[in-house]
Amino acid sequence: MTASQWHESFARTLVEHGVAPGEARRLADDSTEEAQAANMHPADLFGPATAYAATMARAARPAPLQSLTRTRGPVVLRLTGVTKRYRRHEVLRGVDLTLRAGEVAAVVGANGCGKSTLLDICAGATKATSGRVERSARIGYAPQQRGVAPYLTPDEHFRLFGAVHGMAARRAVATGAHLASGLGWLPRPGIVAGQLSGGTQQKLNVVLGELNRPDLILLDEPYQGFDQDSYLDLWTQVYAWRDAGAGVLVVTHLLHDLDRVDHVLELKATEDR
């Protein structure tokens, strides 16, 4: 690949990762000059254009404002003795949790121990067999599977969800694009969700859960199909939403970041109860 081809590929990939076109142009021009100053082919100096663009896009992403003191607000979710039974199969037993605004809770446990069911109960999609569920009215909900419509484009999703939330179409689309850039993704017109890669579909799924800035955000294994960078970006966003005053409940089976969350709720598998 020639130097100018490298630079074109670099600029294009930057835009795909959510960098504004003007800034992408500026970064590409800078890298051209750097390579010339070093008298090296850009691929030798920086590595492959697409990989370098992904790293630079992450570095260029503005870090969310870190609030110095975190205030814990009112309770946004309270579960008391929640139990769920299907016929003779008991999925959840006696689950308790109190989550406030400005906190993050992680729900962990082995596969099949009811994590998704618990999230559905919190959302109100499923009724608990017994126990008490109290939650804020404004919620965002990103289910693990089938949360997006395969035949609609991302922008159409934003408009649809925006209409349900009472947002004007233009504002919904702009908010969606802004949230997408936080996850390193640029929604393109004309491509329906079914044609997106698994990771990108999942980013759309997560963005739709945050579109109307809800008080409680429910995420079910939101990182599926994510590469390492996107996974880190996701947690950055989760903590940013927390700092902005939301309560976030994340179902996860990865234990990496548990030291930064406020609550860890472990669901035991039926054999261990």
Partner 1 sequence: MRQQWLHGFLDLCLLCLLLERRDYGVGLAQRLAHTGFGDIPGGTLYPSLLRLEKQGLVQAAWEASDVGPRRKYYELTSSGATAATERAQVWREFRDTMDRIAAPARTAPAEES
Partner 2 sequence: MLWTIAGTSMREITRRRAALLLVIALPLAFYAARADMQGQAIRFLALGVGWAVATLALFSHVGSRHLDRRLAVVGASPTALLLGRQLALIGMGLTLAGGYLALVAATQDVARLWAVGLLLATTVIIAAPLGAVVSLVLPRELEGALALLAVMATQMIADPEGTLAKALPMWSTRELTAYAVDPVGDDVLRSGLLHFAVVALLCACGAWAAAVVRLRPQTLPTPVNP
List contacts with partner 2 (CB under 8 A): 74-78, 123-127, 133-137, 139-141, 143, 145-149, 151-152, 156, 159-161, 163-166, 169, 192, 212, 214
> Cβ closer to partner 2: 31 or 175?
175
Q: Is the dihedral of CA 113, 93, 214, 239 positive or negative?
A: negative
Minimum distance from CB of 126 to partner 2 (Å)?
Answer: 8
- Residue 47 lies near partner 1 (rule: CB under 8 A): yes
Calpha distance 90→268 (Å, rounded): 12
φ, ψ (nearest 5 deg) of residue 268: -90, 145
228 binds, among partner 1, partner 2, none (CB under 5 to 8 A by kind): none
Minimum distance from CB of 91 to partner 2 (Å)?
Answer: 16
Q: Are 262 and 243 in contact (CB under 8 A)?
A: no
> Cβ closer to partner 2: 52 or 141?
141
What is the DSSP code string of 162-195? HHHHT--HHHHHHHHHHHHHHTT----TT--GGG
List 2, 4, 5, 36, residue binding partner 1 (CB under 8 A): 36
φ, ψ (nearest 5 deg) of residue 41: -70, 135
Question: Closest by alpha carbon to 101, among 152, 67, 133, 135?
Answer: 135
List 59, 65, 68, 137, residue binding partner 1 (CB under 8 A): 59
> Cβ closer to partner 1: 47 or 198?
47
Q: Count residues binding partner 1 (CB under 8 A).
A: 22
Q: Are 86 and 244 in contact (CB under 8 A)?
A: no
Question: Closest by alpha carbon to 142, among 240, 220, 56?
Answer: 220
- Residue 58 lies near partner 1 (rule: CB under 8 A): yes
Minimum distance from CB of 226 to partner 1 (Å)?
Answer: 19
Cα 43 to the center of its chain, rounded Å: 32
159 binds, among partner 2, partner 1, none (CB under 5 to 8 A by kind): partner 2
Binding site for partner 1 (CB under 8 A): 27, 30-31, 33-34, 36-39, 45-47, 51-52, 55-56, 58-63
